[in-house]
Structure 1
Amino acid sequence: MTTTLITGANKSLGHETARRLIEAGHTVWMSARDPERGQRAADALGGRFVQLDVTSDASVARAAETIAAAGGIDVLINNAGVLGPTRPAAELTAEDALSVYDTNVFGIIRMIRAFAPILRRSTAPTIVNVTSGLGSFSAVHDPERVEFEVLAPLYTSSKSAVTMLTVQYARAFPEMRVNAADPGYTATDFNGHGGHQTVQEGTDAIVELATRDGKGPTGTYIDRFGVAPF
């Protein structure tokens, strides 16, 4: 049986990913910063809850200890992310950038550092990093795509970093499958439910990568239609 950990799993894409993977037979650890909301979400789906704040080394370490003691994981899905401030670009500060990157980028680094030793015990170790087409150079330069219309320097650049981290970790850990998933423009709390995709469509790429049983390519970037341009 496959055991999976999802960060930021109490709502939106993380919650739907958990629902689908539990339905597919995975044992799913659903993490959240807020213990009450996280436990309630896990209870509703039949998942396991672990409190985890990806911006805290201590919190990540505690979660790793808890999960290792319970038998470990096969799949790590780095889903937690923040949009950050929506002020005009000229008003953004370095502190704003640190806040966004602390979750979206540094959080992934914390998680991989803590969970790589645990994943190595699996026969099919897998890491899925949730990125965004907003971090794709190809997408943001294409006037036919929705990403072309978005101006959000901190969020978009953080997702470019996530995709490159994916490539680099894939090279560093050839024994694992490390890939990035772009959910696409999905209706969630993140965008005020303005996306044109359903939350199920938005999790297609994530679920695809999480259910390959340690097989297939590594270091790739996909959306629900297949390999995506970066």
Structure 2
Amino acid sequence: MYFLQCDLDAKDETRRTFGARIHGESDSLNLDYEAEFATQTGSSMGKEIDASMFAAQFGYRSKALPKNMRIWIGFDYASGDRSAEDNKDGTFDQLFPLGHAYLGYIDMVGRKNTLSYSQGVSLQATKRTTVTLALHQFRRARDTDALYNAGGAVAREPGNGLSRKVGNELDLSISHKYSDHVNLLFGLSHLRPDDFIEQTGASESIRFAYAQAVFTY
């Protein structure tokens, strides 16, 4: 378990982030877990900052499952609020966003004004190859706030969108350790838009295929 404090000072904004993370596993229950929480205070453009996030994931392994298989469920929440009716800024700021890390490989959704439910299964098919299938179900935390992408930029303004339902993303990835210095990654992703996207503009499905090679020394 660890605690984190991060201060950000910029023109017209002072943001302080306090957070904690815990992780571990229970051999008797065949469970592993991790949870993270952060809260933000300060001021932005004359408004008082009051934002927070929470994320958790629980994994399960058992002899009843095929060898080297892990099933997991996850939840990710980041507050949102762009209401002009009060003097508060409730939208969580990711500060240092990471692509693909938490909310799917397409990066349509970031950790700002979001509710995400996820389920997945991973299988170590061989000593060097791992196959993962994950489903993410995206919603906006507040219907008055925008949809933000993985980089933190506005992906879709709220406009006439009354629904919080953003869409569902299915990710298939294959990781292969080719050698001690080379790791290969292949994947297919599909995002099906839901009501909010359909209410605010173009709403075609997104399909994404990729291949990656990483060399370390």
User: How high is the TM-score relative to the length of structure 1?
Assistant: 0.29
Q: Which has the larger radius of gyration?
A: 2
Higher relative contact order (CA 8 A, sep 6+): 1
